[in-house]
Structure 1
Amino acid sequence: MATSHNIDNKRYQGLIISIALFLSLIGALLAFTFYTSSLLERNTALIDQTNKVANNAQAVIKDLFDLDASYGEDTNSPHIQRVLERLEQNTAEITSSIAAIEQGGTITDTEGRSYDLPRLDSDAQANMATANEQWKALEPKIQAYLKDADNVMVPSADELTQAVEQAKTSSLLINDSLDNLTDDVFNTAEREASTIRLIQAIGVFAIFAYFLIFVFFFVRRLRETDAEALAARRETQEIMQTVNTGLFLLDKDLNIGQQHSRALNDIIGEDRLAGENFTNVLRGRISDKDLKTTQQFIDQLYNPRVKEKLVDSLNPLHKVMLHNNSGNKATNNRYLDFKFSRVYDNKDIARILVNVNDVSDAVYLEQRLEKERSQNDMQIEMLTTILNVNPKIINEFIDNTQMHIEKMNNILKNPGSSQYELEAKLKAIYREMHSLKGEASALKLHSFTKIASDAEDKLHALQNQGQLSGNDFLQLAVHLDDLLSLSNTIATLGERINRAAPASAKPATTQTSAVLNESIVKSGVSKAAVTEGMTSNPLVDNMSIAGEADDDRLSFYQAFAKDIAARQGKQVQLKSDTLTQVAIPAQLEKPIKEISIQLLRNAVVHGIEKPSVRYATGKNAVGTIDLEVQDNGSSIILTVQDDGQGIDYERIRTKLSTDGRFSVEEASQLSQSELLTHLFSSGFSTKERADEDGGRGVGLDIIKAQVEEYNGELNVNSELGQMTRFVITLPKA
């Protein structure tokens, strides 16, 4: 920008010099006019002064004759005194005037104005010398008379007679000399005036001619400049008409400049943008938060102390969705990418250049790719689960999932309009969804877990909503459909792998490899990853061996507990000496598994402390959970015990009062048995924040419901800071 500024200075340098020269000519002419006016004024003053000397000389002679004729009159009479005073005054003025005229001195008129008299030329000096000579002959005689003119004791007739006689002789010569002097000065002034008029005429003509030349060249230069500007504007308009991106300038007040690219109207979706305020254009089309952030962002761009590259990373309008507010439903919302650049004038930030691109296609493509990537990741996750988990457990999960979904679907179909019925439906759906999430989390099916967690969030919001209606449950249908779709996908993949598996315990056949390769291609996972998974897990080679189911179930529970502990920042070890030794009746396999999952999660989340806490209390950093199954002939007894912090009944009291279920006084009067009852109630949890593993108050509610459904018994024993033991007894009959 500095270079451009210098170019502009050079471009106008000739114009500046021409104007300066033109003003100099006018100034010189004005100065000469002032000088000649002063000169003429001085000549005029000289003529006036010579006339004054001549008039004074005539007055002196007249007064002398008057005094001579009135001689003998009383000298104190007013007449004599007035004549004597005038004679003395005129004599002094003539003397001083002659001296000033001869020397070119300064005179002062009767109004107090001073004038400098010009020097006399030779002819004028000769005339002045003659007049001065005659005055010097007359003036002493006048002074001799005036010396004693008013003294009656001293006779002055002789002095008066001598002055009169001399005046008769000198007056004519003085008048002739002064007339000649006046003529000389007038002629000189006339010559000077002619010269001045000639010089002024020449100067005015020169200035006028120079002005015409200046206007001619200036107009020509102006036309050239206008032509260049017009060409530049035409090129700019052609660029603005042709460019496919939106270009415009923003000032400090966020006003859009008058010039912008034609594509900007189509990109923004507005007919008029020039001069409009940028915030008004965006208001209602992006969120208020993004709008406020945009204003702050542009303010920082105008801050010279903030680096442009640094603030660019904070751009709130990077791939932002611009909502359609035109009322035209055919026009979809679009994604726009705004890029801001500073425009400098020297070192000052003059404007902000904004470049807008419609990136809707790119964003939609990214979203589609992300969706496909998520689907591929989900399929990889499912393949990994199928390849690393006993088929019996997978089939149980699929059956249980479909059963849970069918139950929730039936619950939704059941009629109910009262608040009690709606709350009962909500609790029942909540339990089924939580059970489903538990099994999916145990199998590391995070896609299932994510959908179930989202559904739980909505169920939890409904639980805290207070007043329920039948329409509140409609939003759950989408989650059920997604869960069923994922379950069918796992079932399909499992069936294809089972069909491809050989009957004997041999390595995978070519047919199995082909099916896996097809799944690999569809899901985007590398062959090496699947091969590694197949090598580390003997599922494919030993798929038909059912004797490993119990061992796999123990490994399943152990992996489940460790996964939860890792997410909670804890360390656990699950032990069981009887799980693989007791044959669980088929009708109790599902409740035993579901209760075990909920109790294990509860033990890790609420029971086992973090390593630092356990160290502080003298415990081993790794918490221990014992899961035992016993058969007493008539019942199956499930025991889950942890060496954690135990049940804090006081914390339950505090949470009950904090949640508003009881007052502080009422909560303080509850017994431990009553506190345990509320601990197993739906929606109650001592965990401060809900996450994937707990905090919504559903796990213990599921256990209670399962025990009641199978006519079992539930016993809880706990020692604060030491352990918690859950004993579940389910009858076989």
Structure 2
Amino acid sequence: MATTHNVDNKRYRSLIISIALFLSLIGALLAFTFYTSSLLERNTVLIDKTNQVANSAQAVIKDLFDLDSSYGEDTNSPHIQRVLERLEQNTALITSSITAIEQGGEITDVDGKSYDLPKINNNSQTKVAAANEQWLLLEPKIQTYLKDADNIMVDSSDELIQAVEQAKTSSLLINDSLDQLTDEVFINAERQADTIRLIQILGVAAIFAYFLIFVFFFVRRLRDTDAEALAARRETQEIMETVNTGLFLLDKDLNIGQQHSRALNGIIGEDRLAGENFADVLRGRISDKDLRTTRQFIEQLYNPRVKEKLVDSLNPLHKVMLHNASGEESTTSRFLDFKFSRVYEDKDIARILVNVNDVSDAVYLEQRLEKERSQNDMQIEMLTTILNVNPKIINEFISNTKAHIDKMNNILKNPGSSQFELEGKLKAIYREMHSLKGEASALKLHSFTKIASDAEDKLDALQNQGKLSGNNFLPLAVHLDDLLSLSNTIETLGERINQAAPKANNNAKPVMSVKTATQPSVVQAQVADVATININVDGGNEIDLSDESDDEHLSYYQDFAKDIAIRQGKKIQLNGHNLAHINIPERLKQPIKEISIQLLRNAVVHGIESPEARQSAGKSAIGSIDLEMQRDSQNLIIALQDDGQGIDYEGIRYKLIADGRFTQEEASQMTHGDLLKTLFASGFSTKEHADEDGGRGVGLDVIKALVKEHNGKLNVNTELGKMTRFVITLPAA
């Protein structure tokens, strides 16, 4: 992983200054070389120009002599014209060159090239002045001659003679002065060249010496620094190999640094981690949701506007289960705790330091302590129930729980391969589990209720998944074992506390006592509002409940209904009639209790409105529920009526369409009786969200199954906004 190291500027300041000085020396030497080369070049040009002036002066004298000897020749002849032209050019060249040599500066030759001439010293100025003085005597006479030299109408012989005579005198002096100037410039140039060579030799020697000192000094420093770095690296490596925690660095792209603690490989369970992407290492070993959250969490750690302490509370890898590479939970799966800390360079967040610890032992200990705490709480809950409930009811609950579990076990054992058979098994198990949960909830055995609710969640998921297979039912066995274990625990605790309490004996012959009553007229319902199930009657034994009071049974149901109302945010008043002083056949005792529990739950959850809704409708904030049991010579009747919102048939129709059970056209053709029957179908509920008390569509299905099992009748009478009345008639003889 490429990292940006924190550079200590003070540590490298002397190195930077030394290199800068070294480069400055080289630069100065080069600049001096360029300058002296330019100076030598200008001196060379000066020598060339003085030689050129001297040569031009000789050419002028020669041309004047040539013109003098050729005087009388046709001025338009090529020879005369060529000599005059050359004389004119050389005259102009000498004039400009002497001026440039005297003043210094730029000069252009006949080819158009420009040159810089150096300023000459006083001694050289004297020589140039002497040459210029003689030239100023000769040049006007040449100009006077050239003025009319090619004009045949003008006699220019006198001007030519004067120019020739002056040239004889001035040319020698000009040449002598220019020769002296050339010698002096040459001598100065040689002197400068010697000086330049000396300075260059000294400069090169100084640079070489400085380089040797630089190399010697800094190589030694680098050797010392390397030794320190090696020692630091060795110490870091020893630390990384010794610590028991996993340490590594993360960059913004979630790449792991090249160095990490040796323990990290064992903790993560990977041989190669350096340079790997952290997300790739975790992929498949934690959930995709946790992986996405981890990415977002690290992005926030790199956000300087987010406080580190604040974002640390959102750490998704705190005590996270890290599965093995295959993704299956096994002995290699462990709990790891990742802690993230920012690493700063100046004020910038450079990397993230990650500290990983294997906290599996601590987590397992916490889980064991939590399990023991839950078991203790559960036992306290059970003890509270045992101490506050009639032992006979406890024994009945234990007996019924085992019966429900046996039924569910038998259902699971029954073969079934077709979807129809599997769906039938599912509905049957669902009903048994719901009945068991109802009895546990009535006794405030929340541990039972929680396990049963979890099982119902799985059953509900199976009911909604569509295609079923036999393997789908296997996880339910765990819940059955837990429920059976809890019932055995209650039984053991009950035996210890209430050893003298009589247990229910299903084989005992009960005392017969019959109390007849006529069936009330309220049971008769209009045909449009009734869903009736008619089945033949079985015989059975009866049990005398005359030893139990009406208040005792009523209190049992009142507590149950009150708990549900509190959870649902409602207020209710339960009134009971003839709940104890009737003769109930032994075979109907448990069905009646289950039916009563399901009817009460349905009334509180679905029937009674919230206090606000009731007051808005002009009702009392407290809902009223009446539960009564009657017995005549042939039948046992359970009636439950609430003053709630009644059954909303249009609401049922809308929910059927929304759930996709029926099309809008099919639902619109359904009668009230048809709509009412759908309430008793397994898996259908008008409640939007399922909770502990309802919403899974099982309660009324349980009632229907129990009525059908015991050849009974079910009658429903309702009035929207006012009431709902359920009447269950079960054959008693």
Q: TM-score, normalised by structure 1?
A: 0.85
* 1:262 aligned partner: 262
Give the distance between the partners of 1:26 and 1:708, measured in 2 at CA: 110
> Which of 684-693 and 657-666 deviates more?
657-666
| 1:123-142 matched pairs, under 5 angstroms | 123-142=123-142
Contact 2:548–2:580 (CA under 8 A) maintained in structure 1: no
C-alpha offsets along residues 483-535 of structure 1, whole Å, 9 cap, x if unaligned?
A: 2211111111111112499xxxxxxxxxxxxxxxxxxxxxxxxxxxxxxxxxx
Percentage of identical aligned residues: 80
SS of 1:435 mapped into structure 2: helix
* 2:396 aligned partner: 396
Give the distance between the partners of 1:402 and 1:43, measured in 2 at CA: 124
CA 459–186 in structure 1, closer or farther in 2 if over 3 Å, else same: closer
CA 686–146 in structure 1, closer or farther in 2 if over 3 Å, else same: closer
Contact 1:145–1:159 (CA under 8 A) maintained in structure 2: yes
* Structure 1 residue 297, shift from structure 2 partner: 2.4
* 2:194 aligned partner: 194
* 1:383 aligned partner: 383
CA 364–80 in structure 1, closer or farther in 2 if over 3 Å, else same: same
Give the distance between the partners of 2:52 and 2:646, measured in 1 at CA: 135
Contact 1:389–1:552 (CA under 8 A) maintained in structure 2: no
| 1:447-466 matched pairs, under 5 angstroms | 447-464=447-464
* 1:334 aligned partner: 334
| 1:587-602 matched pairs, under 5 angstroms | 588-602=588-602
Contact 2:285–2:327 (CA under 8 A) maintained in structure 1: no
AA at the equivalent of 1:360:
S
| 1:163-202 matched pairs, under 5 angstroms | 163-202=163-202
CA 241–589 in structure 1, closer or farther in 2 if over 3 Å, else same: same
| 1:296-335 matched pairs, under 5 angstroms | 296-325=296-325, 331-335=331-335
Contact 1:390–1:549 (CA under 8 A) maintained in structure 2: no
CA 99–552 in structure 1, closer or farther in 2 if over 3 Å, else same: same
Tell me, yes or no, if structure 1 residue 644 matches structure 2 residue 615.
no
* 1:343 aligned partner: 343
AA at the equivalent of 1:202:
L
AA at the equivalent of 1:454:
D
SS of 2:715 mapped into structure 1: strand
CA 328–594 in structure 1, closer or farther in 2 if over 3 Å, else same: closer
* 1:563 aligned partner: 563
> Which of 259-268 and 344-353 deviates more?
344-353
Contact 1:607–1:646 (CA under 8 A) maintained in structure 2: yes
| 1:105-254 matched pairs, under 5 angstroms | 106-121=106-121, 123-143=123-143, 145-146=145-146, 148-152=148-152, 154-254=154-254
* 1:44 aligned partner: 44
* Structure 1 residue 678, shift from structure 2 partner: 4.5
Contact 1:427–1:682 (CA under 8 A) maintained in structure 2: yes
Contact 1:398–1:487 (CA under 8 A) maintained in structure 2: yes
* Structure 1 residue 443, shift from structure 2 partner: 0.3
Give the distance between the partners of 1:683 and 1:328, measured in 2 at CA: 33
AA at the equivalent of 2:562:
K
| 1:334-483 matched pairs, under 5 angstroms | 334-413=334-413, 423-464=423-464, 471-483=471-483
AA at the equivalent of 2:207:
I
Give the distance between the partners of 1:438 and 1:102, measured in 2 at CA: 127
Higher RCO (CA 8 Å, separation ≥ 6 residues): 2
Contact 2:141–2:162 (CA under 8 A) maintained in structure 1: yes
Give the distance between the partners of 1:267 and 1:418, measured in 2 at CA: 48
> Which of 322-331 and 77-86 deviates more?
322-331
Q: How many residue pairs are counted as aligned between the two chains?
A: 687
Give the distance between the partners of 1:325 and 1:215, measured in 2 at CA: 54
Contact 1:142–1:163 (CA under 8 A) maintained in structure 2: yes
* Structure 1 residue 146, shift from structure 2 partner: 4.4
C-alpha offsets along residues 286-311 of structure 1, whole Å, 9 cap, x if unaligned?
A: 22222222223223333333333333
C-alpha offsets along residues 17-40 of structure 1, whole Å, 9 cap, x if unaligned?
A: 222222222232223223322332
* Structure 1 residue 377, shift from structure 2 partner: 1.2
CA 197–402 in structure 1, closer or farther in 2 if over 3 Å, else same: closer
* 1:619 aligned partner: 619
Contact 1:102–1:128 (CA under 8 A) maintained in structure 2: yes
Contact 2:683–2:698 (CA under 8 A) maintained in structure 1: yes
AA at the equivalent of 2:647:
I
> Which of 269-278 and 335-344 deviates more?
335-344
C-alpha offsets along residues 150-172 of structure 1, whole Å, 9 cap, x if unaligned?
A: 45555454554444444444444
C-alpha offsets along residues 316-360 of structure 1, whole Å, 9 cap, x if unaligned?
A: 222221111169998521111222222233333322222222111
* 1:522 aligned partner: none
Give the distance between the partners of 2:607 and 2:136, measured in 1 at CA: 142
Give the distance between the partners of 1:365 and 1:449, measured in 2 at CA: 26
* Structure 1 residue 271, shift from structure 2 partner: 0.8
AA at the equivalent of 1:383:
L
Contact 1:392–1:549 (CA under 8 A) maintained in structure 2: no
AA at the equivalent of 1:318:
H
Give the distance between the partners of 2:563 and 2:423, measured in 1 at CA: 33
Which structure 1 segments of 5+ residues have no match?
502-545
Which structure 2 segments of 5+ residues have no match?
502-545
Contact 1:322–1:336 (CA under 8 A) maintained in structure 2: yes
CA 221–561 in structure 1, closer or farther in 2 if over 3 Å, else same: same
CA 70–384 in structure 1, closer or farther in 2 if over 3 Å, else same: same
